[in-house]
C-alpha cells in the first residue's frame, strides 16, 4: 500500500499518469516557521509526503487533477473509507516514526488499533492534556498551530497567503457585523496533532449549524497556493454562550481527505470547561473561534507572532488568553 498522502482516490485510468507526474521534479516549498512558546524559540513544521500536495497546488496539470477529481466531498468520503480499512494499519508505524509521536501518552496499545483512522482519532491517557484550572483563562480547544487576528484592524483574514472575509467564512452577515471588531483565533491542526478537541469554557450551546462547501486541504502548501480555500471547506458552526467569554462563535473546518467532523452533541445542551466536544478523522483540520472585543484579551506572545504571520504551537487546555474583565480587574 502506498504512503497515505500520496495514495489518492482518482479514477484508475489516471493513476499511472498521476504518479509519474508526482515523481517528476517539483518546486520545493518552504516549511512553515512556528513559534515554540515553551522554549521561546522557532522551529519548522515536519511535513509529510509534501510532493503530492505540491503537485496538486503548484503545477498546471496538478491543478487539473485537483479540479477534476479531488474537490468533491464524496472523494473525501472514499478516502475516509480507505483509512478505515484493515489494510491501513501498516501505515501507523511509519506515521509514528515520521512525526515522533509520543506513544507513552496514548491510552490504548498500538497493536490494538483496527485501522489508521482508529489510531488517528486515538484517545490519550487521563491528564495527558491538563486543563488550566483558572476559569478566566482562555484555553486552547485543541493541539494546534495558532494565529490570532484583531478584526477591528483587519477586515479580511490572511492564512498562509489566503484571504477571506468573515461573512464569507460563516455565511452569515449578522455574525460578520456582530464580530467585525472582535478577535479571531485560528487553530490549525497538523496531521501529527491530537485530533480531539474540547470546550474552552462552561456554558450552553445552540444547535449546531452545518455549512456545506467544496473541500480543500489545510496543509501549509495548499494554504499558500489558493485564493478560495477556507470558504470552500466543510464547516460546523456552534454558538457557545459561555460563562467567562460571552457569546462565542466556534467553527470546525474539515479538509481534503477528512470531510468528517464528529461532534458528540449537535443539539442544544450545557457543557463544561475541558469537556470533549468532538474529533476530526484523518487529515489536517482547523478550528476557528470568534470573540467580541470586550470579552477576551489574547496572550501577548501569540499576538506578537501572529502580526508576523508566524503560528504559535499550543496544546489543548493551555492558556492562550484571558477574560477581558479579569485582565482589567
Q: Is 65 exposed, middle or buried (0-12, 13-18, 19+ CB in 10 A)?
A: buried
Q: What is the pLDDT of residues 179-198, one digit of tens each?
A: 999 999 999 888 889 999 99
Q: Is 63 helix (H, G, I), strand (E, B) or coil?
A: helix
pLDDT-based confidence at 171, cuts 50/70/90?
confident
316: its cell numbers: 489543548
Statement: residue 99 has pLDDT above 80: yes
Mean pLDDT, the chain, integer: 79
The partner residues of 271 in beta bridges, in order of sequence, read 203
- Alpha carbon distance 61, 220 (integer Å): 20
Please give the pLDDT value at position 233: 65
Of 117, 139, 266, 264, nearest to 195 (Cα)? 117
User: What single DSSP character describes residue 106?
Assistant: B
Percent residues over pLDDT 70 in the chain: 69
Q: What is the pLDDT of residues 44-88, one digit of tens each?
A: 987 655 444 454 545 555 555 555 555 555 555 666 677 888 888
- Alpha carbon distance 138, 161 (integer Å): 27
CB 213 within 8 A of CB 232: yes
63: its cell numbers: 491543478
Q: Is 69 exposed, middle or buried (0-12, 13-18, 19+ CB in 10 A)?
A: middle
Domain count, the chain: 1
157-163-169-175 Cα dihedral, nearest 10 degrees: 40
Which helix (H) or strand (E) segment holds residue 134: the answer is none
Cell 490549525 belongs to residue: 188
Please give the pLDDT value at position 228: 46
Enclosing domain of residue 140: 1-329
Range 161-188 average pLDDT: 84
Of 28, 301, 29, 46, nearest to 190 (Cα)? 46
Please give the pLDDT value at position 141: 98
Contacts of residue 150, Cβ cutoff 8 Å, sequence gap at least 6: 183, 303
The region that residue 100 occupies, defined by phi over 0 for left and psi between -120 and 50 for alpha, beta otherwise, is left
Tally Cβ neighbours within 10 Å of residue 283.
28
Tell me which of 76, 88, 192, 285 is the catalytic residue: 285
The partner residues of 162 in beta bridges, in order of sequence, read 159
Range 238-256 average pLDDT: 91
Tell me which of 76, 140, 143, 217 is the catalytic residue: 143
The partner residues of 33 in beta bridges, in order of sequence, read 44
Statement: residue 247 has pLDDT above 80: yes
Q: What is the pLDDT of residues 258-316, one digit of tens each?
A: 447 899 999 999 999 999 999 998 765 889 999 999 999 999 999 999 999 899 999 99
C-alpha angle 172-175-181 in degrees, rounded to nearest 5: 135
Query: CA quadruple 256, 185, 242, 137: dihedral positive or negative?
Result: positive
CB 71 within 8 A of CB 63: no
143 catalytic per annotation: yes
Statement: residue 217 has pLDDT above 50: no
pLDDT-based confidence at 167, cuts 50/70/90?
confident
Q: How far is CA 22 from CA 19, 66, 88, 216, in A?
A: 5, 13, 22, 18
Describe the crossing of helices 12-23 and 50-58 by its angle, rounded to 10 degrees. 100
pLDDT-based confidence at 214, cuts 50/70/90?
low
Percent residues over pLDDT 90 in the chain: 51
Amino acid at each position: 500500500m502506498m504512503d497515505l498522502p500520496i495514495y489518492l482516490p482518482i479514477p484508475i485510468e489516471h493513476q499511472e499518469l498521476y504518479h509519474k507526474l508526482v515523481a517528476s521534479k517539483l518546486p520545493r516549498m518552504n516549511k512553515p516557521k512556528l513559534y515554540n512558546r515553551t522554549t521561546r524559540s522557532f522551529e519548522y513544521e515536519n511535513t509529510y509526503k509534501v510532493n503530492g500536495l505540491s503537485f496538486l497546488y503548484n503545477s498546471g496539470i496538478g491543478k487539473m487533477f485537483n479540479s477534476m477529481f479531488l474537490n468533491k466531498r464524496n472523494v473525501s468520503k472514499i478516502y475516509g473509507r480507505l483509512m478505515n480499512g484493515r489494510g491501513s494499519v501498516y501505515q501507523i508505524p511509519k506515521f509514528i516514526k515520521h512525526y515522533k509521536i509520543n506513544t507513552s501518552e496514548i491510552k490504548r496499545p498500538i497493536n490494538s488499533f483496527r485501522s489508521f483512522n482508529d489510531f488517528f482519532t486515538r484517545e490519550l491517557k487521563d491528564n495527558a492534556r491538563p486543563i488550566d484550572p483558572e476559569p478566566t483563562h482562555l484555553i486552547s480547544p485543541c493541539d494546534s498551530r495558532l494565529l490570532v487576528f484583531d478584526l477591528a484592524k483587519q477586515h479580511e483574514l490572511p492564512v498562509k497567503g489566503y484571504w477571506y472575509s468573515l461573512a464569507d467564512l460563516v455565511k452569515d452577515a449578522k455574525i460578520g457585523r456582530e464580530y467585525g471588531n472582535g478577535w479571531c483565533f485560528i487553530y490549525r491542526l497538523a496531521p501529527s496533532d491530537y485530533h480531539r478537541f474540547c470546550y474552552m469554557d462552561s456554558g450552553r450551546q445552540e444547535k449546531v449549524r452545518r455549512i456545506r462547501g467544496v473541500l480543500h486541504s489545510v496543509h501549509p502548501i495548499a494554504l499558500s497556493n489558493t485564493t478560495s480555500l477556507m470558504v470552500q471547506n466543510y464547516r460546523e458552526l456552534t454558538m457557545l454562550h459561555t460563562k467567562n467569554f460571552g457569546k462565542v462563535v466556534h467553527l470546525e473546518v474539515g479538509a481534503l481527505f477528512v470531510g468528517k467532523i464528529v461532534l458528540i452533541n449537535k443539539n442544544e445542551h450545557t457543557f463544561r470547561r475541558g469537556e470533549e466536544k468532538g474529533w476530526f478523522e484523518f487529515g489536517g483540520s482547523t478550528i476557528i473561534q470568534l470573540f467580541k472585543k470586550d470579552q477576551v484579551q489574547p496572550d501577548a506572545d501569540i499576538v506578537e507572532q501572529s502580526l508576523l504571520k508566524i503560528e504559535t504551537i499550543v496544546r489543548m487546555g493551555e492558556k492562550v488568553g484571558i477574560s477581558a474583565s479579569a485582565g482589567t480587574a
